[in-house]
Amino acid sequence: MEEHMHDDATLGVMLARAAGEELLRVREVSGLEGRALGDAGDAAAQALLAGLLAEHRPADAVLSEEAKDSAMRLSADRVWIIDPLDGTREYSEGRADWAVHVALWEAGELVFGAVAIPGEDMVMDSSSVATVPAGEPGAPVRLAVSRSRPPAVTEPVRAALGAELVAMGSAGVKIAAVVRGQVDAYVHAGGQYQWDSAAPVALARAAGLHTSRIDGSPLVYNDPDPYLPDLVVCRPELAGPILAAIAGEPHGGTA
């Protein structure tokens, strides 16, 4: 197919869906399990995405969890930031709460993000996502946390807001859950990279949600260092109270 047949959003959705289908295929037919299955899935999804991007956007740079980083992306006008398999553990355990991330950065900003959740046959993208409706006044705040070990930063937020903790898998699934209204916030400070959050953050921004570092500063992508260890994604009305709780300040704003 020629490049002009796909605009960026159509291409991004296609990439995320295709990688998800490949991951499901590998899990079904490989006969592998555990770490070997996760490694095989990572490799297969990376190969598929790299091949499709080389075919359809050969002039664009790529930053991927599963490929060697190149300084060339720092002078590129357009960079695809991808995580071929977000949630390798969940994937290898046969769960559904893992994702594929495909984001596009252009001229200093995220301009597109697609998050596939293949276990639910779902692709959400920033070009078509609906604005998250306002929360119910007085409703309990639901906070997405890791199934295995919630980061310590979660506790002051839980205490300040009286939040209910909702355990689920990968970062992309957690951020998508805020977009879907399944939870109200996701706070993380345990170490992540740009590919862990670029696509879901683009999705969240398009849905009208607050996104920032835990100190309230902006999330910056295509930075020389791919490490981007912390973030807050939440309903806009919760941003003040959450950031104040993290900073150890008196409760700020209303929940």
Distance CA(42)–CA(100), nearest Å, equals: 10
φ, ψ of residue 81 to 5 degrees: the values are: -110, 115
Identify the burial level of 110 via C-beta atoms within 10 angstroms of its C-beta, where 0-12 means exposed, 13-18 middle and 19 or more buried. buried
> Is 83 assigned to a binding site?
yes
Kindly report the number of other CB atoms within 10 A of residue 2's CB atom: 7
Q: With the C-alpha atoms ordered 49, 210, 167, 140, is the resulting torsion angle positive or negative? A: negative
> Is 196 assigned to a binding site?
yes
As a whole number of Å, the CA-based R_g of the chain is 18
> Is 121 assigned to a binding site?
no
Kindly report the number of other CB atoms within 10 A of residue 29's CB atom: 8
Q: b/e map of 155-178 (b: 16 or more CB within 10 Å)?
A: ebbbebbebeeeebbbbbbbbbbb
Residue 250 DSSP label? S
Annotated binding site for Mg(2+): 65, 83, 85-86, 196
| Known binding-site positions | 65, 83, 85-86, 196
